[in-house]
Chains A and B, each alone.
Chain A
Amino acid sequence: MSRILEVAGLGKAYADGRGRRRVLQDVHLELDAGEVVALRGPSGSGKTTLLNLVAGLLEPDGGRIRLTVDGRTVPLDELDEPARTAVRRAHIGYVFQFFNLVPTLTVRENVLLPLELNRRQDLAPRALERLAGLGLDDRHDAFPGELSGGERQRVAIARALAHEPVLVLADEPTGNLDADNADRVAGLLWQEVRRLGSALLIATHDSDIAARADRVLPMGGPVRHAS
Chain B
Amino acid sequence: MSLLFRSQLRFVRHAPWSAATALLGVALGVASVAAVHLISAAVVRSLDERTPSHLAGLTHVLERTPLSADDYFRLRAAWRAHPDAPIEALVPMVEGHRLIDGRQTLVLGVDWLAMPSPPLDAARADAGESGAVSSDVLLGEAVVADRTLGRAAGERIEAVGRSVRIDTVADTALGPALITDIALAQHLLGLGPETLSRVGLELDDPWQPWRERLDRLMPGFAAGLPRARAGTLAELAPELERAGADEWRARPVVAERPEAEFARAVLFNLGSLGTLALLVAWFLIYQIGLIWLRRQRLLLERLHAVGVDHRALRRSFLSVFLTLGALATLLGLVGGFVLARLLIALTGGGLTEAGSFGIGRALPDVWLLAKAVGSGLGVCLLGGLAAFAREWHERNWSSAWRLFAPALLVLLALGLALESTGVLGGFLAILSMSLLAVALVTPLLGLLRRRMSGARGPLWLRLALRDVAWYPRLLGVALAALSLAVATSIGIALMVESFRLDFERMLDVRLAGDLYLDAADADSDALERWLAARPEVARLQAYGAVRSRIAGVPVELGYTRFDAAESARYRHPRPLGSDEALISERLARDLDVAPGDVLPVARGALTVVGTFPGFGDPLGRVLVDVAALDRLQVPAAFDRITVHLKPRADAAELAARVRERFPAVRLESRAELRAEVLRVFDRTFAITRALTLVALLVAVVGTYNALTALRLQQASTTRLLRAQGMSGRELRQIALVRALGVGGLAMLLALPLGLAMAWTLCTVINPRSFGWSIELHLPASGWLLPLVLGLAAALVAGALPAPRERGTLHEAA
Contact = CB atoms under 8 A, between A and B. Distances in A.
Direct contact of A and B (CB under 8 A): yes
Contacts of B727: 82, 85-86
Contact of A86 (B453, B724, B725, B810): B725
B717 to A, nearest CB: 5
Interface string A110-128: 0001101110000000000
Interface stretch (A88-96, A195-203, A212-220): A88-96
Contact of B463 (A82, A99, A105, A114): A105
Interface in B443-463: 453-454, 459, 462-463
Contact of B721 (A92, A102, A141): A102
A100 B467 contact: no
B722 interface: yes
B547 interface: no
B160 interface: no
Interface string B723-754: 11111100000000000000000000000000
A94 B722 CA distance: 10
Contacts of B728: 81, 85
B459 A96 contact: no
A135 interface: no
Interface residues of A, number: 29
A79 interface: no
B466 interface: yes
A114 B724 CA distance: 7
Given A99-B717, A99-B719, A113 B724 contact: yes
A106 B470 CA distance: 13
Interface string B501-537: 0000000000000000000000000000000000000
Contacts of B716: 98-99
Contacts of A103: 470, 717
Contact of A104 (B466, B724, B726): B466
Nearest to B454: A141
Contacts of A90: 725
A107 to B, nearest CB: 12
Given A103-B470, A103-B717, A117 B726 contact: yes
B125 to A, nearest CB: 67
A88 B717 contact: no
Nearest to A81: B728
B720 interface: yes
Interface string B284-305: 0000000000000000000000
A179 interface: no
Given A85-B726, A89-B724, A114-B724, A104 B467 contact: yes
Interface in A115-149: 116-118, 141, 143
A97 to B, nearest CB: 11
B742 to A, nearest CB: 14
A99 B808 CA distance: 14
Given A96-B720, A99-B717, A104 B725 contact: no
B462 A105 contact: yes
A85 B725 contact: yes
A72 B723 CA distance: 22
Contact of A102 (B453, B720, B725): B720
Nearest to B467: A104
Contacts of A89: 724-726
Given A90-B725, A117-B724, A104 B463 contact: yes
Q: Which bracket fits the contact residues of B?
A: 20 to 34
Nearest to B730: A117
B339 to A, nearest CB: 41
A109 interface: yes
Residue of B453, B463, B719, B724 ringed by the most chain A CB atoms within 10 A: B724
A55 interface: yes
A106 B452 CA distance: 11
Contacts of A102: 463, 717, 720-721
A57 interface: yes
Nearest to B452: A104
B458 to A, nearest CB: 8
Contacts of B810: 99
Interface in B610-655: none
Contacts of A118: 725
A117 B459 contact: yes
A81 B727 CA distance: 9
Given A102-B463, A104-B467, A104-B470, A55 B717 contact: no
Contacts of B719: 99
Interface in B107-131: none
A114 B725 CA distance: 8
Given A99-B717, A113-B459, A106 B724 contact: no
Contacts of B462: 104-105, 109
Interface in A134-191: 141, 143
B723 A88 contact: yes
Nearest to A115: B459
A57 B722 contact: yes
B720 A100 contact: yes
A88 B725 contact: yes
Contact of A117 (B466, B717, B725): B725
A84 B796 CA distance: 30
A55 B723 contact: yes
B723 A94 contact: yes
Residue of B454, B717, B723, B726 ringed by the most chain A CB atoms within 10 A: B723
Contacts of A114: 724-725
Contacts of B454: 141
B14 to A, nearest CB: 15
Contacts of B726: 85, 89, 117
A105 B724 contact: no
Nearest to A51: B723
Interface in A72-86: 81-82, 85-86
Nearest to A98: B716
A214 B584 CA distance: 97
A101 B463 CA distance: 12
A116 B461 CA distance: 12
A96 B721 CA distance: 12
Contacts of A104: 462-463, 466-467, 470, 717
Nearest to A91: B725
A102 B716 CA distance: 9
B711 to A, nearest CB: 14
A116 B724 CA distance: 11
A72 B593 CA distance: 94
Nearest to A52: B723
B453 A106 contact: yes
A123 B724 CA distance: 16
A173 B70 CA distance: 104
Given A104-B463, A105-B462, A99 B724 contact: no
Given A103-B470, A103-B717, A109-B462, A57 B725 contact: no
Contacts of A57: 722-723
Interface string B454-493: 1000010011001100100000000000000000000000
Residue of A98, A102, A116, A117 ringed by the most chain B CB atoms within 10 A: A102
Contacts of A143: 453
A57 to B, nearest CB: 6
Contacts of B467: 104
A116 B723 contact: no
B310 to A, nearest CB: 27
Nearest to A159: B724
Contacts of A88: 723-725
A30 B810 CA distance: 34
B720 to A, nearest CB: 6
Interface of A: 55, 57, 81-82, 85-86, 88-90, 92, 94, 96, 98-106, 109, 113-114, 116-118, 141, 143
Q: List the 4 closest A-B pairs by CB distance, nearest first.
A: A89-B725, A104-B466, A99-B716, A94-B723
8 contacts: A82-B727, A89-B725, A99-B716, A104-B466, A104-B717, A109-B462, A141-B454, A143-B453
Given A92-B725, A102-B721, A104-B463, 6 more contacts: A57-B722, A85-B722, A99-B717, A102-B720, A104-B470, A113-B724
